[in-house]
Amino acid sequence: MTNDTAGGAGGRSSAGRLLKIAGGALIALLLLGAGAWLMAPKMARRVLDSQLERVEARSGLTIKTGALETRGLSGVTLSDLQVAIPGDDAPVVTIARAEVSLGLLAALKGDRAISALALSGVRVELSYDDQGRHTLTRILELQGDDEAEGDASESVAPRDLEAIAARLQERALRHFGGRFPQVEVRDLEVGFSDVQTPSRWPLTQLKTELATLESGESRAPFEADVHLQPNDAHTLSLPATVSLSGALALPLTRSSVDVTFSEALRARAPAPYDFLEVELRGVAITDNFGVALRELALRNRLEPGDAPMVEAELASLALESWPARPADVKLQELRVEGPHLRLNYAAHGASNLGDLEALLRRGVAKRSVRTAREVAQELAERAIADASKDDAAEDDTTDATPAAEDLDALAAQPAADATQPAGPSLRELLTEKLPQRIKVSDLTIEVVDPRPHDNLNAPLQRFALREGELDVDHRPIQGQIDLKAIAHIEGAVLPARVDVALDLPYRKGGWEAKVDIEELELSQLAQLGGERIASRLFGGRVNASLDLGEGEQRGRTSFEGMFALDGFRAFLSPVAADPIELGEASIALKGYLDPKAAIPPARLLKAPTPPSEPELQGGEEELSQEELPAPPERGAFVIDEGTARHRDASAEFQLAIYGFDGLDRRPNRLDVAIAIEPTPVQALVDAIPSAILGPLAGMRLAGTFGWNFAMEVPLYDAGRMQWDATPELLNLEVKHLPEEVDVYRLFERFDHTIEDTWEVKEYRRTRTLTYQRDIVIPKMRPTPAPWLIENTGITLEELDLRRRERGWPEVPQWFPGLGIPRQAIDSPEYWLTRHATSQAAPRPWPERAQPVSALDSFFGAWSPQPSPDVPRWEAPEPHRRPLEETIDAERYGDYVYVPLHHISPYMVRAILTTEDNSFFDHPGFNFYAIKQSVAANLRAGRFVRGASTISMQLAKNLFLDREKVLARKFQEATLVWLMESVADIPKERLLEIYLNIIEYGPGVFGIHEAAVHYFGKRPDELSIGEVAWLVSIIPGPKRYHSYYDRGEISPAWFRRMGRYIRAMETRERITPEEMELALAEPPAFHIPADGEPIFRADYERENPPPPPEVPEGAGEGVEDLGGEPTPEPVEERGFMRLFD
């Protein structure tokens, strides 16, 4: 019991002591709490005042607070907090109540960080002062004590966005312990005002009932709904409500925000572009440096209708980091979803995009004018200021630097190194500039085009590109680019599709690309291309497939593809005067492009050889081979396999261009090979477009044609070009030729119309002159063989062979009374007999009396009575001539067709010398002249020399128009082939017609009219100098007619004629004595006055030269003057004796 009693007493004693200790501690805590409760307001005020002083010192603002209440040991509550700019009457910020969570016990230890804020009744007033400064601008301009005492470098605002964000982060979070506090704002109102310019602010008031920011160490989500009161006078139309959500993050550049508008945000562009309006339904800035625009649209308010011109569901981009400057932007990803472009045309041709471009250009021009004026004014003010400084410093030049020294210093600056590359390489461009991802999905382009397109094959008023996709995947580390593009075009009968794929490993090399086109209608491309394209491209469906890429051999691009056209129609002005139409056509090819490939040896080319015929010394200056730059030695563009098909005709071809160095230099060599399997000739004719055939369209031929052709052209010495042609023409027969190009009518009598129209520029006006004359070409009659042999260089044996093979003229059957030895009928001598020469055409004009000599005039054997039968010149009326005038085709009388042997032989020799030296030897084409023409034109870089033969010029003048297109050359060549190789028209007939129809001046056609117009003579009376003038003006008869208008031939032009005369002597067509006589003086024009005879002989008969003066005592021997001089004996040729 004792023990128990003792033990119980001890236990009660221990429990009592514990209770006493606990009670004492409780009493102590109560006493401490009561003390803290009594001391908390003073501590809180001291802590708050300390923080506000630091804020004032750093910001330069004035902060006033009202009553302060403590909330235990967790914080304080402030009322009537005001923030103002020093010197302003009204505060910028007013807060009715602010609850600040601040650990008071922590504050006793020195930790004064604010952990939470709860604000209510917040009012903010933003305005512009009388100096036009924004409230925030004024706040930033204030210099607080902290910055004034700090490092001067800190006062300079950093340009780097990362530095700006870090500075803002450090200043903002220093009051919150370096972490994001929990913030709650209720009843916030922001007012915007500007007394001077009320429309400056886009809104007048901003309200929000609740805005929250959750606390966090490195991330703080926030959320708010903001109600806006827009300013109707501003160009920016704001929605009623803006919802904000996102999160602040450390660093601040990793923060994100999402802005959603209750209605679309609308912004008008500034004048003069205020007709443009941009709409936006939302903006998002992501924590990976991304920006996204939702439901973006661009409207043109000048366009009727409410649909936007451009819109997209989403447009976003991701950057590597926020750039300090626009030039530092490094795009990582670009994404556009649902872009939609509406292209609307008006019936008169305008479009919304075209109008927009025109308006934008007009605005730029206006702004440029204003800028130029401002620059001029600034320069003038600067010049005045500099002049004032010069006057003030005239006496003090110790520190002045003369302007000359400034120029010397500027000139002494090192120039840019021309060897440095002009820009980044392709690899650098791809690595640094190309985003890692580009994604455009669901692209739509709608076109509404009510314009009339009468020329197009299949115009559509509505069509669209839909489901367009573009996906670019760029992996810079691997150096790989993958591109895919797809588009569908709807609206035509057959929908079109275009696919493009690219696999580009640009680091290791070896790339591949593939293009597929299905049923693409070119009419829609022409509609989109504008008037310039629509006037040339009319339509056609295209199907194509092309594979190209770089294989194992670096730098060598191989390609293989097929292009098919159906119904293609286009106007190619250099090729044909009319649109070119194709049926079903295709071309398949396979080849490669290798800039480093060596040039293979030529197969056909030979070493240079001297020319086979002498060249006329023309006036064009050409570079010699020594002056030409060296041709490139590497590079090859080769089509190994090519097949072209059109309708029922096909051809295989090979093409190679060797040695090239950019587009500015001429390649080294061109190789071409063409192979045509034996094909019906009519199938080949039908395969040629009618625009190329021209008047030959409708030609029908029978037979088969095959061809193997190879050509090599050294482009730096094209005169050495060589070709190997193996034609195979079997059973050719002409079934039909259109009447206007029927070459067979040249054998018979036929009608021909000469037409010409040209303009004459006079003082302040341009006159249009026309000429038209219907002439008759008589039936073909043989030219006497003696005349041909003497004047054309053809031998009697060659003439006999040609005429007997042709069967014309017909050789009679011998009979006893024929008057010709029997053996002469079968020998070449037959063509020299009177029986053969009598078939020639007679002289087409009567003999005229000879002009009166000086002796006849002296002895009175001349009567000055004018003959009424003499044709006389009728001068045009002297009054002002009309702007449009028709030349009188009968001003020299009726048209006279002159047979070849009644034309001056000097004219024939001269025309052969200057126009076609080997006319009687070639088959209508002078291949040597073709080579020299190509070489001269390539050297000059322009057209300086042609290669037309007399046959080609005749075909042009007789059958074709004057359009300067490539198709006309094809038509000329075909007609020459028909005339000379198929119809076998005699050369002398072609030359005779040519001289009788070609132009010699404005309204002067044919050799008879030319001889009368220039010299008042018949064609058979022309001298060497006169024919030299006529052949010299054939290339430009209207241009060179100015010498006739002046009344004489200039010395410079006579020197040009002298080159032709010397060439005639060099080619043994005249004697040296004849040459010297012709070079003595230029021929004189016969220009009759009104009423005077047209022919020189008639004029000289009516106006003889004055009689010679006889000196006194010179009567002896006068009787000898009347006798005719005895001619020197001349050796006659045998065939001339037969001809006589």
Instruction: State whether 647 and 730 are in the same domain.
Output: yes
- pLDDT for position 85: 85
Of 678, 709, 736, which residue is a domain's last? 736
- How many of the other CB atoms lie within 10 Å of CB of 897? 18
Asked whether the beta carbons of 300 and 405 are under 8 A apart, the reply is no
Catalogue the long-range contacts made by 255-261 (C-beta closer than 8 Å, 24 or more residues apart).
255/285, 255/287, 256/284, 256/285, 256/286, 256/287, 257/284, 257/285, 258/282, 258/283, 258/284, 258/285, 259/283, 259/284, 260/294
Asked whether the beta carbons of 1075 and 1064 are under 8 A apart, the reply is yes
- pLDDT for position 434: 86
> Mind giving me the DSSP string for 444-469?
EEEEE--S--TTSSS--SEEEEEEEE
Q: How far apart are CA 508 and CA 512, in angstroms?
A: 13
More reliable by pLDDT, 1096 or 445:
445
Q: How far apart are CA 1106 and CA 1084, in angstroms?
A: 19
- pLDDT for position 622: 45
Residue 829 in domain? yes
CA 706 to the chain's CA centroid? 40
Spatial neighbors of 642 by CB under 8 A, at least 6 apart, are 587, 588, 589, 590, 591, 652, 653, 654, 655
Q: What is the SS3 assignment for 986-1026?
A: CHHHHHHHHHHHCEEECCEECHHHHHHHHHCCCHHHCCHHH
16: confidence class by pLDDT, cuts 50, 70, 90: low
Residue 679 in domain? yes
Residue 79 in domain? no
**% residues pLDDT > 90 (the chain):** 45
Identify the weakest region by mean pLDDT among 621-625, 973-977, 1010-1014, 1029-1033. 621-625
Tokens of 922: 């070639």
Indicate the length of the chain as a whole number.
1140
Total domains in the chain come to 2
Tell me the average pLDDT across 631-658: 94
Q: How far apart are CA 869 and CA 1098, in angstroms?
A: 10
367: confidence class by pLDDT, cuts 50, 70, 90: very low
424 cis-preceded (ω within 30 degrees of 0): no
Spatial neighbors of 244 by CB under 8 A, at least 6 apart, are 211, 222, 223, 224, 225, 226, 257, 258, 259
Spatial neighbors of 400 by CB under 8 A, at least 6 apart, are 393
More reliable by pLDDT, 791 or 1133:
791
Tell me the average pLDDT across 505-511: 84
> Mind giving me the DSSP string for 119-135?
EEEEEEEEEB-TT--BH
More reliable by pLDDT, 432 or 425:
432
- Indicate the SS3 state at residue 67: coil
Residue 141 in domain? no
**Mind listing the pLDDT tens digit for each residue in 737-767?**
999 999 999 999 999 999 999 888 887 788 8
Q: What is the enclosing helix (H) or strand (E) of 82?
A: strand 75-84
Q: How far apart are CA 1107 and CA 854, in angstroms?
A: 5
Spatial neighbors of 747 by CB under 8 A, at least 6 apart, are 779, 780, 983, 985, 989
Asked whether the beta carbons of 905 and 790 are under 8 A apart, the reply is yes
**Strand pairing category for 700-714 and 884-886:** unpaired
What is the pTM for the complete model shown?
0.75
420: confidence class by pLDDT, cuts 50, 70, 90: very low
42: confidence class by pLDDT, cuts 50, 70, 90: low
Beta-bridge partner residues of 708: 675, 726
Of 840, 858, 875, which residue is a domain's last? 840
Tokens of 886: 């028709």
- pLDDT for position 880: 64
- pLDDT for position 419: 43
Tell me the average pLDDT across 708-732: 91
CA-CA-CA-CA torsion sign (420, 422, 423, 428)? negative
- pLDDT for position 517: 96
If you search the block for the tokens 């030359």, which residue do you land on? Answer: 991
pLDDT exceeds cutoff 70 at 454: yes
Instruction: State whether 643 and 732 are in the same domain.
Output: yes
**Mind listing the pLDDT tens digit for each residue in 1023-1036?**
999 999 999 999 99
Q: How far apart are CA 849 and CA 866, in angstroms?
A: 13
pLDDT winner (highest mean) among 447-456, 557-566, 886-895, 1111-1120: 557-566
Beta-bridge partner residues of 101: 75, 116
- pLDDT for position 43: 64
Instruction: State whether 722 and 799 are in the same domain.
Output: no
389: confidence class by pLDDT, cuts 50, 70, 90: low
Tokens of 897: 């067709």
**Mind listing the pLDDT tens digit for each residue in 953-971?**
999 999 998 888 889 999 9
More reliable by pLDDT, 259 or 146:
259
172: confidence class by pLDDT, cuts 50, 70, 90: confident
Instruction: State whether 731 and 790 are in the same domain.
Output: no
Instruction: State whether 788 and 725 are in the same domain.
Output: no
Instruction: State whether 792 and 727 are in the same domain.
Output: no
CB-based burial of residue 44 (10 Å sphere; 0-12 exposed, 13-18 middle, 19+ buried)? buried
Of 840, 856, 888, which residue is a domain's last? 840
- pLDDT for position 162: 72
Composition of the chain by helix, strand, coil, percent to 5: 35, 30, 35
Residue 267 in domain? no
pLDDT exceeds cutoff 70 at 482: yes
**Strand pairing category for 241-249 and 62-64:** unpaired
Tokens of 282: 């939302």
Asked whether the beta carbons of 544 and 519 are under 8 A apart, the reply is no
What residue spans of 60-134 are helical by DSSP H?
A: 104-108
Tokens of 1087: 């220009």
What is the CA angle 83-85-87, rounded to 5?
125
Tell me the average pLDDT across 1085-1112: 76
What residue spans of 124-174 are helical by DSSP H?
A: 135-141, 145-149, 161-173
Residue 36 in domain? no
Q: Look over the chain and give the mean of its residue pLDDT values, rounded to a whole number.
A: 81
pLDDT exceeds cutoff 60 at 159: no
351: confidence class by pLDDT, cuts 50, 70, 90: confident
CA gyration radius, the chain: 50
Residue 847 in domain? no
If you search the block for the tokens 């605002």, which residue do you land on? Answer: 157
What residue spans of 403-553 are helical by DSSP H?
A: 403-412, 426-433, 522-528, 531-534
- pLDDT for position 753: 94
pLDDT exceeds cutoff 50 at 145: no
Q: Range of 825's domain?
A: 784-840
Burial 734-752 (b: 16+ CB within 10 A, else e): beebeeebbbebbeeebeb
- pLDDT for position 198: 77
Residue 1003 in domain? no
Q: How far apart are CA 283 and CA 735, in angstroms?
A: 77
pLDDT exceeds cutoff 90 at 160: no
